[in-house]
Structure 1
Amino acid sequence: MICIRRARPADAPAIGAVHVATWRTAYAGVLPDDYLAGLSPLRHAAGYEQAITDRHNGHAVFVAVVSGADAPEGTPAGEATVVGFVSGGRARRPGLAQGEIETLYLLEDYRERGVGRRLMRAIAAHLAAVGCRSAMLWVLQDNPTRWFYRRLGGRPAAQEAIRFAGQTMGQLAFVWDPIETLLAATAPAAEG
């Protein structure tokens, strides 16, 4: 079973591990190998623990947790495992949208199963609940999964060069304005 819920401080180590694992797969060949090898799940966990407890500016973190038959091999019976997460809050800089999706990371084995869509719905519903009428996110231009945001109705709205991991790279901003376009794109499919 796959469940989306608000993250708890105890989830931080698993979130840090997911962050590192997804960066190592998604950005292989995009970011320098030594940078990816040096990523620390513990360092990221500390940052995410703070993000989970810091609710200023409408900030929230949601996790995708799996158990039972959906759990990764080796997961003890009855235990759940974090396989993805999303975070966001009010936009960190004005101009493009009122709300910002800051992160969305999902382990490779859980892609193409609707989990990313469900995580995006959780953060979009949260942003709408805290008063954001539009949402945006930045994605590296060379991110191989950037198509996902376009498939959810994200409209490319800005592009900029950033300096990251010792190199200059491009990033794109996708915007959902109004935020209801993202909520509609991530609505559960009707059964029947």
Structure 2
Amino acid sequence: MNTCIRRARPEDAAAIAAVHVAAWQDAYAGLLPHGYLAELSQRRIAAGYGHGMLTRRGEEAVFVAETAADPRRIVGFASARKVRRTGLGGADFAEGEIETLYVLTDYRDRGIGRRLMRASAAHLAAIGCGSAMLWVLSGNNARFFYRHLGGRPVAREAIQVGGEAVEQTALAWNPIETLLAATAFTQES
């Protein structure tokens, strides 16, 4: 199934939130408290994404993957910006950060995540970031995808999610060209 990657618009917020909730409930089952995942508010999350897109500055970008067969069906998204955190977890490791990357379960293993990563990396490079990073829960299987793309673990930290401590790992691509090369289109893609 063909998908296109494009910049998100504020009217995409509800569909982005639906992907966010579904992806969290799938990917984080067993890693985060069940009650926390069950109570994720699609409406609240949509409001946050909508507000963020309306007020974003040029250094921030959200990309969506939508199916070609049904152009309004958003099946994944990613967001990227210059790193905001200093010290452990941010500017020490990279200049740009991929904040989110979520793809619906039925659309995984089709190259959509790789293409969203490429759009994010290209955006970061375009705004002058020479390196990129992201955080992933250490128990999340997505860490293997990021490692396959050349992400190097650079830090770990404990965070609180839903009242429980979980570990997350920072992965970095320095220089950012390593991520751009790893996500480049090939005949096999």
TM class by shorter chain equals over 0.9
* Superposition deviation, residue 57 in structure 1: 6.3
Tell me if 1:117 matches 2:118. Answer: no
Q: Which runs of 5+ in 1 are unaligned?
A: 72-78
* Superposition deviation, residue 51 in structure 1: 2.2
**4+ residue runs over 6 A deviation:** none
2:64 matched residue in structure 1 = 63
1:100 matched residue in structure 2 = 97
Take 2:74 and 2:156, find their aligned partners in 1: how far apart are those partners?
Answer: 32
Letter in 1 for 2:19: V
Take 1:147 and 1:9, find their aligned partners in 2: how far apart are those partners?
Answer: 31
Take 1:7 and 1:67, find their aligned partners in 2: how far apart are those partners?
Answer: 16
Structure 2-normalised TM-score? 0.93
2:72 matched residue in structure 1 = 80
2:88 matched residue in structure 1 = none
Task: Report how many residues are paired.
Answer: 182
Letter in 2 for 1:14: A
Take 1:62 and 1:53, find their aligned partners in 2: how far apart are those partners?
Answer: 14
Q: Aligned-residue CA RMSD in angstroms?
A: 1.2
Identity rate, percent: 60
* 1:56 counterpart SS class: coil
Structure 1-normalised TM-score? 0.91
Letter in 1 for 2:82: R
* Equivalent residues of 2:75, 2:103 under 8 A apart: yes
1:75 matched residue in structure 2 = none
Query: Superposed, which structure 2 residues align to 1:128-147 within 5 Å?
Result: 128-147=125-144
Take 1:119 and 1:162, find their aligned partners in 2: how far apart are those partners?
Answer: 26
